[in-house]
Structure 1
Amino acid sequence: MIPSLLAKDTIVALATAAGHGAIAIIRLSGPEAISIVQEVFKGKNLQKQPSHTLHFGTIRDEDKILDEVVVSLFKAPASYTKEDVVEVSCHGSPYITEQLLKLFLRKGARLAEPGEFTKRAFLNGQFDLAQAEAVADLIASDSALTHQVAMKQMRGGFSAEIKALRAQLIHFASMIELELDFSEEDVEFADRSALRRLIAQLQKLISDLLQSFEMGNVLKNGVPTVIAGKPNAGKSTLLNALLNEEKAIVSDIPGTTRDVIEDEAMMGGLRFRFIDTAGLRDTQDTVEAIGVARTKEQLKKAALVLYLFDVTTSTPEELEAEIAALHVGNIPVLFLGNKKDLATPEQLARFTSLENLVLLSASTKVGLEELKQTLLDQVHANEAITGDRTIVTNLRHFQGLQKTADALQEVLQGLDSGLTGDWLAADIRRALFYLGEITGEITTDDLLDNIFTKFCIGK
């Protein structure tokens, strides 16, 4: 673990969003945090007060009162950064926060860099790097599921799995390293068959984590859901109904939508990115042809396809041929029979044997709630969300796991070819290195800068 690197300077930043508000919070962290605030605070002597206490008073610039405030004290090591932390709650006026920040800077604080409070927390051993990154994900979470995943990672769920993998590898690495010290005696301390079984287990665990990244990416960025179908099937009407606003132009003229129209909607704690596309048909119109080509490109990127068809004019045979022409592969397809309100019982009956079918009327919104529930059921059917499995949402973690898997594969190949212990140890150390990079047990300044500069200032 990275040793404690308690800073010698004190940082300050606005911890709440900029702009007008009822209150604002200015946060200071470092060895002089309490003394800097005490110097301008009129109230109790903060340096004599216990940790985790609140104190009312005024902040003054010499004889001028800047604001009435409540000061929160968090003394080291019982604070977010494990340093002395002071949070000043003031009125949420941009003028007041600017004056207070300038005052604290004059008294010796330094303006914090993006993510520097969390960076100090990591460097001081409050949590590991994967947990620190989860803090940013938690702040950015905009649905129940992204909040759930980020909270689990911030509380160490993902880190615990990585550390368990690493601990098992370290044991075998140490045994092989011990063999190198007794190379002249030609002894084996590490059971090669047990090492092979362990690597197979680790590969399975890492494979599961790697596979979860696809779902993690969907949760983080929204479920890309393409609305496809022939011209005049009602795709734009459906998009407007799902978004509950007039986003797309609706017309009886076929080929109205010639470009991709995209917007988002929250459903059951999950964000869907609905993508309305140009109607699929052969056309001589140059612009419409470009729209059809873009539709096919969007279909390749979709996590879910809603194929809309007119139940009053389509046949099951035509529908089957249309879907086959899409070449969507393994992407789930929901069939939406539109214009249910205009169809006869006989027309509706033609499609009742079709799997994944929802009958609706996009214009009157009949069947819309059933569609929304079906969409949620489709996503929740994934075991990665319904169970208690760890979901990888961070690209850096995904890449680290992929490199670890490659290194473990080389260990297996080395075992198969009878490589000596020094070569096996090198490959195992490489796997340990990549796992250590994920949690921050092995890190560089460039890596930390790349991670924490993406945070907001004040966090």
Structure 2
Amino acid sequence: MTHQDTIVALATPSGAGAIAVIRLSGNEAIMFAEAQFKSVSGKRLSKQATHTIHLGHIIDSDRTIDEVLVSVFKNPNSYTGEDVVEISCHGSSYIQQEIIQLFLRKGCRMATAGEFTLRAFLNGKIDLSQAEAVADLISSDNEASHQIAMQQMRGGFSSEIAKLREELLNFASLIELELDFAEEDVEFADRTQFKDLISRITFVLKRLIDSFSVGNVIKNGIPVAIVGEPNVGKSTLLNALLNEDRAIVSDIAGTTRDTIEDELVIEGIGFRFIDTAGIRDTKDVVEGIGIKKTFEKIEQSQVVLYLFDATKFVENSELFQIEIEKIKNKYPLKPLLIIPNKIDKLSVEEVVQLEVFLSGIENSKYILLAAKENRGVEELKSQLIGFVNTGALRNNETIITNTRHYDSLLKALEEIQKVQEGINTNLSSDLMAIDIRQALYHFGEITGEITNDDLLGNIFANFCIGK
């Protein structure tokens, strides 16, 4: 595919609205726009300064399509690094298509997914990790994911990687130079400084890799499974959390026969709550399928909320103890929050007895809840936030959310550890240089200094057309 032609696409969401923005980019973008635009002031777009806006009409022969505002951005001071024109027209779907079709007939090409951002990357306006952050920013649906995407788009992550890569490249050059003077047995690279650099790179890589566990759940939302026996208030709790009647509530056991999911943002972090079918022995085929799905959803969740009916605790405390231990043993790595519901129906003495029981359960937390009365819901939200390590987010540290970056960082760390081992064992410079080159390669993969068409195709295929 050529990137020298002029492309056009709708930059705003498809469908009717107050306004729509149609974007053109390429060496002849201004020329194409000028030929179809009649300014109310009579000015020619090609003669106007960059970053200016002009009122006029889009004309097809002697037919006026719409009154528009045209924004002009001249290279290299544009998003793509090329000449860019943005046409703000009325949001009629008919008008949008008429303008786009007009430019296609005149010689423009329809942009492919993410092609404007791809051109920005190819023209050196942004690196590859910043380009990927553009897609993350567009898809961000809570404060935390927005903050991470903004930091990455501004180059926080890529600048950190670029600095490490530059320092490693400098030492690599010295080691390569040693190979040219192998017979003289000289060392141009100070091994003490090199060892310090490798230790520093190792520390940074491990920190970035560790941040992925936080970044991934922030980006995709934290799945929380609400489990328990039938009719203990799981659906009531979901409705209380969402502040709406999302799940059907009744006194009939087994009402929820399938998993119900919905999302809630708590302090800028997205949580995806999964109301599951009640766990019990049943001969009902449909309910049995729902229970099977319940265990599948627990496997996928990051946090498990185990609900039980507090009014049945006195008679069944041993049974609840067995059920809780069963969940802990089956999912030992998942945070477990034990929630006795309907505590508003207990006496003061029974509440005390219940808390003594819950305090004795190791490696778990509990909250007393009365979901119908909305008691304990806010405390539950606070506990859920406590399961997320938001320290790095508050401190504005670099957090990795992209699986491709995570994979490249792991591979880079593996090569750096080989270099570290080579230093410790006095490995020859030629063998150490191989590992350094591989580490540099994986660093370059992240920022796009090393890339290929297949990689770019996979990345930009996930973009929307007008971006």
Q: Same fold (TM over 0.5)?
A: yes
1:331 and 2:334 correspond: yes
* Partners of 2:56 and 2:285 in 1: CA distance: 71
The secondary structure found in structure 2 opposite 1:169 is helix
1:271 and 2:270 correspond: yes
The secondary structure found in structure 2 opposite 1:188 is coil
User: 1:6 Cα deviation (Å)?
Assistant: 10
Q: Higher mean Cα deviation, 262-271 or 54-63? A: 262-271
- Which amino acid is the alignment partner of residue 226 of structure 2? I
- Segments of 5+ residues of structure 2 without an aligned counterpart are none
Superposed CA deviations along residues 238-270 of structure 1, whole A, max 9, x for unmatched, are: 122223343333333444434433222233322
The secondary structure found in structure 2 opposite 1:352 is helix
Paired residue for 2:158? Answer: 159
Cα 1:413/1:293, change in 2 over 3 Å: farther
User: 1:348 Cα deviation (Å)?
Assistant: 1.3
Cα 1:297/1:99, change in 2 over 3 Å: closer
* Partners of 1:448 and 1:375 in 2: CA distance: 38
TM-score (norm 1): 0.93
1:445 and 2:453 correspond: yes
- Which amino acid is the alignment partner of residue 59 of structure 1? I
Q: Higher mean Cα deviation, 229-238 or 145-154? A: 229-238
Paired residue for 1:340? Answer: 343
Paired residue for 1:394? Answer: 402
Q: Higher mean Cα deviation, 136-145 or 207-216? A: 207-216
- State how many pairs are aligned: 454
Equivalent residue for 1:408, pick from 416, 429, 447: 416
Alignment of 1:166-245 (within 5 A): 166-245=165-244
- Which amino acid is the alignment partner of residue 347 of structure 2? T
User: 1:375 Cα deviation (Å)?
Assistant: 2.3
* Partners of 1:30 and 1:437 in 2: CA distance: 27
1:428 and 2:436 correspond: yes
Superposed CA deviations along residues 382-430 of structure 1, whole A, max 9, x for unmatched, are: 4233322211111110111111111112223333443211110011110
- Which amino acid is the alignment partner of residue 330 of structure 1? L
User: 1:285 Cα deviation (Å)?
Assistant: 5.9
Cα 1:193/1:288, change in 2 over 3 Å: farther
User: 1:204 Cα deviation (Å)?
Assistant: 2.1
Superposed CA deviations along residues 216-242 of structure 1, whole A, max 9, x for unmatched, are: 111111111011223332112212222
Cα 1:289/1:6, change in 2 over 3 Å: closer
Paired residue for 2:24? Answer: 28
User: 1:455 Cα deviation (Å)?
Assistant: 0.8
Aligned partners of 1:311 and 1:347 also within 8 Å: no
- Which amino acid is the alignment partner of residue 347 of structure 1? E
Paired residue for 2:34? Answer: 38
* Partners of 1:439 and 1:111 in 2: CA distance: 27
* Partners of 2:191 and 2:353 in 1: CA distance: 62
- Which amino acid is the alignment partner of residue 208 of structure 1? R
* Partners of 2:2 and 2:169 in 1: CA distance: 29
Aligned partners of 1:215 and 1:391 also within 8 Å: yes
* Partners of 2:66 and 2:345 in 1: CA distance: 66
* Partners of 2:415 and 2:195 in 1: CA distance: 13
Alignment of 1:267-346 (within 5 A): 267-281=266-280, 288=287, 291-314=290-313, 318-326=319-327, 327=329, 328-346=331-349
Superposed CA deviations along residues 349-377 of structure 1, whole A, max 9, x for unmatched, are: 12435373322212232332332233234
Paired residue for 1:352? Answer: 355
